Amino acid sequence: MRYWLMKSEPTDFSIDDLEKSPNQSIDWYGIRNYQARNFMRDEMSLGDLAFFYHSNCKNPGIVGVMKITKLAYPDRLQFQKNHKYFDPKSNNENPRWLCVDVTFIKKTPLLELQVLRNYSELKSMKILQKGNRLSITPVTKNEWDFINLILTD
């Protein structure tokens, strides 16, 4: 099992939206970074767990937990001409962009980015690295366990 942190802007799709989705599940659409795509394609497995992270908002941070419930497949939005995630260089025979399905596990109290920065145990966490803007990053088992301890305090 692996662990992940997956970002979404709450004005686009929030933890509340995931909780209210049919079957509390959705395709994690709109990834347009090759490294994040490769994480989904090459490293995610069914049952992996991920922190749901609200980004680009007043209080960015971890707001929930979800599970990977369908392995990588083509993101349908890359083919929709008037959609913001349309990619004219992609086609059905050779799709460039992928998504995975995620399923809601639980909401957590907001664990803000600034609070995460306070813990030396998390200093190597990808989300805390200068210049890191990836929407999907791996989380080590130690980081996962430590954050869960913080969330239960």
What DSSP assignment string belongs to 34-48?
Answer: HHHHHIIIII--TT-
Q: Which of 7-11, 74-78, 130-134, 147-151 has the lowest mean pLDDT?
A: 130-134
Domains and CATH numbers, the chain: 3-152 (3.10.590.10)
Residue 9's pLDDT band, with cuts at 50, 70 and 90, is very high
Please give the mean pLDDT across all residues of the chain.
96
Q: How far is CA 113 from the centre of its chain?
A: 15
CA-closest candidate to residue 95, choices 79, 83, 112: 79
Reported pTM:
0.95
